[in-house]
Amino acid sequence: MNIEGCSLELFFVDGRPDGMLTAEVFNLTGHVLRTPRTQLGQALSRPQAHHFGVYVLLGDQDGRPRAYIGEAEKLSKLLKEHAGHKNWWDTAMLVRTAAVSLHKAHGKYLESRLVEIAKKLNFSGLENANIPPKNSLSEADISNMKSFLETLQIVLPAISVDPFIDKSAVGKPASTSDPGGLPVFELKKKKFNLHATAILRQGELSVQSDERARSSWVGDTNQKIHHHKLYAELSHNGILQSKADHAVFTKDYAFSSPSAAGAIVNGRSTTGRTEWKLVSDGRTYADWENDQLIQSVDPS
């Protein structure tokens, strides 16, 4: 993407973090409205819902994340139809450009590209079976749509729209033997034939490909933090592949916390800050982090 830095403005419409939210990138065209299904009526009464745009429906079905991407000449009309015919979704994203003069071909192009992006990122819960065909657009229109898509690829992951979050592409170093100065942690459980190494990069712990995890989830499935759902998702989309007595990571995968990474490796809830240990000297993640904080306050 050509955008190296930008400001994202979030506005919580009713003052609640889980309520209606608008997101815009400063100085760029485009507007995203996120609404819970419980507030759909209020959302569809807003001006942006009465124009052309694309939309993303998000929810869970059978314990797994699910999504659907579509386009509409009038967002409010189609969202009302989906409310009556699709029962699994609980959140909707309404996306439109600042220009209201766009037509059906623009919508089909954006819909097709968003489905394509989600499929490339291996989001297995996508209800769209195939990538829709792109309608013919002029060279100038395609350039404008590509620019708009670059904006969306900043906004949608920033507000946790799962189909567009890339967890496998973290700009990793070549190997844990040459991590380029980045800290490398490991988690070992000989009893269960588990061994995983992970590199901390850009605030995420990236478990490396070919590392070993538990062959199935053995922990509680009633916890508020649903790591068991993530384990099921990674198994379903092939990132975790079962072997005889364990599972292996088929590609690098970045986790937002050491506990999430540890839970997937162990197949149960895990206190990752104490179970992950620095390869170089055996310090726990918690001890290493504490040392980093001390050095940041007092470099001497």
- Listing DSSP states for 18-57 in one string gives TS-EEEEETTSS-EEEEEEGGGHHHHHTSGGGGS-EEEEE
- CA 201, CA 181: separation in Å to the nearest integer? 10
Q: What is the DSSP code (8-state) at residue 171?
A: -
Within 8 A by CB and 6+ apart from 63, the residues are: 229, 232
Q: What is the pLDDT of residue 298?
A: 54
Which whole number is the average pLDDT over 162-176? 61
Q: Which two tokens stand for residue 113?
A: 């590209």
**pLDDT band of 1, cuts 50, 70, 90:** very low
Domain ranges of the chain: 8-164, 184-297
Q: What is the pLDDT of residue 174?
A: 44
Backbone angles phi, psi at 51, to 5 degrees: -120, 175
Scan for tokens 């079962």, then name that residue: 242
Q: What is the DSSP code (8-state) at residue 131?
A: P
- The reported pTM is 0.68
- Whether the CB-CB separation of 25 and 6 falls below 8 Å is answered with yes
Q: pLDDT at residue 249 above 70? A: yes
| Amino acid letter, residue 155 | V
Q: Which two tokens stand for residue 224?
A: 């508020």
Helical (H) or strand (E) element with 61: strand 53-61
Within 8 A by CB and 6+ apart from 98, the residues are: 29, 30, 31
Q: What is the pLDDT of residue 297?
A: 60
- Whether the CB-CB separation of 240 and 265 falls below 8 Å is answered with no
- 123-125-129-134 Cα dihedral, nearest 10 degrees: -50
- CA 238, CA 232: separation in Å to the nearest integer? 10
Which whole number is the average pLDDT over 43-62? 87
Q: What is the pLDDT of residue 129?
A: 85
What is the per-residue pLDDT across 30-50, written as a single tens digit (0 to 9) for each?
Answer: 788 999 999 999 999 998 888
- CA 161, CA 90: separation in Å to the nearest integer? 13
- Whether the CB-CB separation of 195 and 211 falls below 8 Å is answered with yes
- Whether the CB-CB separation of 93 and 34 falls below 8 Å is answered with yes
